[in-house]
Amino acid sequence: MSARRPARVLPPLLAAVAAAALLAGCAADGPAPAADAPASASSASSAPASRAPVPSVAPASGATPGGTLLVADFGGDTVTFVDPERGAFDRVEVGTAPYGLVVGEDGRAWVATAEGVAVVDTEKRTRLARVPYETRTGPATTGEYRGGGMGIALAPDGRRVYVGVNVPGGDGVLEVIDTATRRVTDTVPVGRRPFDVDVSRDGGEVYATGHDSFDVTSVRTDTLRTERMEVAPYGTEGGLGSWLKPHYAVVRPSDGKLLLPFEGERLAVLDPRTGKVAVERMTADTHQHGATMAPDGTLLVVGTGPITSGDAEASLTIRAPDGSERVVPLDGPHEDVAVSRDGRTAYVTGGFTRDRYWNGITLVDLDGTAPPVRLAAGERPLGIAVL
């Protein structure tokens, strides 16, 4: 693979379609389609047309055990509780098209939906509240371009939730929620379609990744002062019609820098103190979305699959702190990833923001001693957290 690979942009005809906001996929900004497109009927992992029943494998005690997975059902209005060995056992209604979610030490989950941020008691598996957005985002719809919450993060002290709100056709907004009062206290303008939100280890800064504006916006949590930092290792040619835009970021604990993977080829390392970006080589050669970090500093990055004929299929990149990589092939597209508390297993969701997806999770043994295992779970599962 060449380090000088030209930026992937859509051909003229499709670029015109993107400009008209009718292109399906993650390349362009625009209104959501009338309904989510199902997975290809020819695929062995096609998503069912209707909601799948939840198997009766609930814990005998009724309480939710530690290690349970919580996934956001982007293709529905629920979050699903999943036993990583036996599968889904319960679901809770949270609101239209839930995207990202985060769980606090008190066991409460905060779920970004098209209608507001839902608050879920994960032990009792009930919804406690839904906090409406202050920002006007239009009707609550489904699909990749729907308005409402996308990336979401929790302050280290648990007192604030930060949610990136997509405003179709315009710049995004970071909304700040007081977790005690469950009210929005502040709104801050950020980049377009904030796919991801992250918080510095000391809680002093929040970072909103603007997918369609090729940037990360840092927000000081004390003053709400913002700074836009461009992250475009391939450049910004093609604008909304480009595929080469940032998706998800990880804050590296060792130095506070943000790691943003691009195309399985380049890892953008953003220093939020200077706004400068260094680029390191990656090896998967696939369109990349979700990312997280294991307790030992290993970076995990989801490859969603090809966007051009020369790209590799879906995969999970396991990148050690020294930069060495192992790439694990995945069966079909995936979107986001979480890691078990012991750092031994990655959980990769099959939801995918684009029009191909499947209703399950792939379990990947990070030691490489066992092959990946697929587990049915949720409806187009996107965001994921480990309880």
Cα distance from N-terminal residue to C-terminal residue, the chain: 39
Instruction: Report residue 225 CA to chain centroid gap.
Output: 25
| Tokens found for residue 103 | 């769980």
Mean pLDDT of 55-62: 54
The pLDDT-based confidence of 57 (bands split at 50, 70, 90) is low
Query: 225 and 249 in contact (C-beta within 8 Å)?
Result: no
Query: 313 and 329 in contact (C-beta within 8 Å)?
Result: yes
Mean pLDDT of 225-246: 95
How distant, in Å, are the alpha carbons of 93, 178, 223, 258, 274 from that of 249? 28, 24, 23, 6, 17
363: number of Cβ within 10 Å? 19
Paired with 148 in beta bridges are 166
Query: 368 and 41 in contact (C-beta within 8 Å)?
Result: no
The pLDDT-based confidence of 6 (bands split at 50, 70, 90) is low
pLDDT above 70: percentage of residues in the chain: 84
| Tokens found for residue 211 | 């997918």
Cα torsion 261, 37, 83, 52 to 10°: value is 180
**Residue 59 class from Cβ within 10 Å (0-12 exposed, 13-18 middle, 19+ buried)?**
middle
The pLDDT-based confidence of 61 (bands split at 50, 70, 90) is low
Give tens-digit pLDDT for 300-312: 999 999 988 778 9
In the 8-state DSSP scheme, what is residue 130? E
Return the pLDDT at 54: 53
Give tens-digit pLDDT for 288-304: 999 999 999 999 999 99
**Helical (H) or strand (E) element with 371:** none
In the 8-state DSSP scheme, what is residue 92? E
| Tokens found for residue 245 | 């835009």
Instruction: At 379, give phi and psi (nearest 5°).
Output: -115, 105
Return the pLDDT at 351: 93
In the 8-state DSSP scheme, what is residue 42? T
Return the pLDDT at 41: 29
Instruction: Report residue 307 CA to chain centroid gap.
Output: 18
